[in-house]
């Protein structure tokens, strides 16, 4: 029965990740599906690109919140049977379920975003210091090169290094997860990497509202 309870919470985490913030905000307030414009992704970056910061900021906040809430679902469980490492592994399980939900949301035909904002929410929930440092790396790279994709990739690549530098005693599960972060980023940004190599990636104008350009 206890094991079944954990499965329920993994499902709840997946459903949290599946919450289609970009699609809902686009359809409710702008009468468009952001997946039909820009990069075709249902995430914060494409929302900024298609609808501007007034839509992009709420989507970014909600996508980060999905990851943060997922790892904190443990607050509703009896954690007595778990060691500290066991609790952490349970958090990671919920977090990964939320990322899968964001990538393949059940509510919108399994067409979601790239999971970076949701990953950030998970990092904030499990290791705030590393999350802040990774965010600073993202901001610096973005301000220099103006490519969200490049900034996301480099920030994710920095995460395992930051975990190593900032953690005195690092659980094996955290090491594995820290490696999973850049691997997922490289996989989901494959097309962006190809465009970067060809010199065809579009520079972002996060602070300016862009006209819809399908």
> What is the SS3 assignment for 83?
coil
Classify residue 204: in a domain, yes or no. no
- 8 Å CB contact between 47 and 114: no
Classify residue 92: in a domain, yes or no. yes
Classify residue 178: in a domain, yes or no. yes
Q: What pLDDT band is residue 209 in, cutting at 50, 70 and 90?
A: very low
CB atoms within 10 A of CB 5: 12
Q: What is the DSSP string of 141-188?
A: HHHHH--HHHHHHHHHHHHHHHHHHH-SS--HHHHHHHHHHHHHHHHH
Q: What is the pLDDT of residue 206?
A: 55
Q: How many domains does the chain have?
A: 1
Q: Tell me: the pLDDT tens digits for 128-175?
A: 999 999 999 999 999 999 999 999 999 999 999 999 898 777 778 888
Classify residue 213: in a domain, yes or no. no
Q: What pLDDT band is residue 210 in, cutting at 50, 70 and 90?
A: very low
Classify residue 18: in a domain, yes or no. yes
- 8 Å CB contact between 162 and 175: no
Q: What is the pLDDT of residue 87?
A: 87
Q: Rounded to an integer, what is the distance from CA 33 to the centroid of its chain?
A: 20
Q: How far is the C-alpha of 169 from the C-alpha of 187, rounded, in Å? A: 29
Q: Which of 43, 92, 47, 52 is nearest to 72 (CA)?
A: 92
Q: What is the pLDDT of residue 214?
A: 39
Sequence-distant (6+) residues with CB within 8 A of 128 are none
Classify residue 29: in a domain, yes or no. yes
Q: What is the pLDDT of residue 205?
A: 66
Average pLDDT, the chain: 90
| Look-up of token digits 């329920």 | 8
Q: What pLDDT band is residue 213 in, cutting at 50, 70 and 90?
A: very low
- For residues 207 and 20, the model is more confident at 20
The domain of 173 spans: 2-198
Q: Tell me: the pLDDT tens digits for 34-81?
A: 999 988 899 998 999 899 999 999 999 999 999 999 999 999 988 777
Classify residue 210: in a domain, yes or no. no
Half-sphere exposure of 75 (CA within 13 A, CB side): 7
Classify residue 56: in a domain, yes or no. yes
């Amino acid at each position: 029965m206890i094991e079944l309870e954990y499965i329920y919470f993994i499902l709840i985490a997946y459903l949290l990740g599946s919450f289609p913030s970009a699609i809902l905000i686009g359809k409710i307030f702008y009468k468009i599906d952001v997946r039909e414009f820009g990069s075709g992704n249902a995430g914060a970056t494409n929302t900024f690109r298609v609808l501007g910061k007034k839509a992009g900021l709420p989507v970014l906040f909600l996508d980060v919140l999905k990851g943060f809430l997922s790892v904190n679902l443990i607050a509703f469980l009896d954690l007595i049977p778990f060691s500290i490492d066991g609790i952490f592994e349970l958090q990671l399980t919920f977090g990964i379920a939320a990322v899968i939900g964001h990538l393949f949301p059940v509510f919108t035909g399994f067409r979601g975003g790239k999971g970076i904002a949701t990953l950030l929410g998970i990092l904030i929930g499990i290791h705030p210091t590393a999350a802040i440092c990774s965010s600073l790396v993202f901001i610096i790279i973005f301000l220099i090169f103006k490519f969200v994709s490049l900034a996301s990739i480099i920030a994710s690549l920095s995460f395992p290094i930051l975990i190593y530098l900032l953690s005195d005693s690092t659980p094996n599960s955290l090491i594995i997860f820290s490696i999973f972060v850049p691997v997922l980023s490289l996989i989901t940004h494959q097309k962006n990497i190809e465009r970067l190599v060809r010199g065809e990636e579009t520079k972002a104008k996060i602070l300016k509202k862009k006209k819809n350009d399908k």
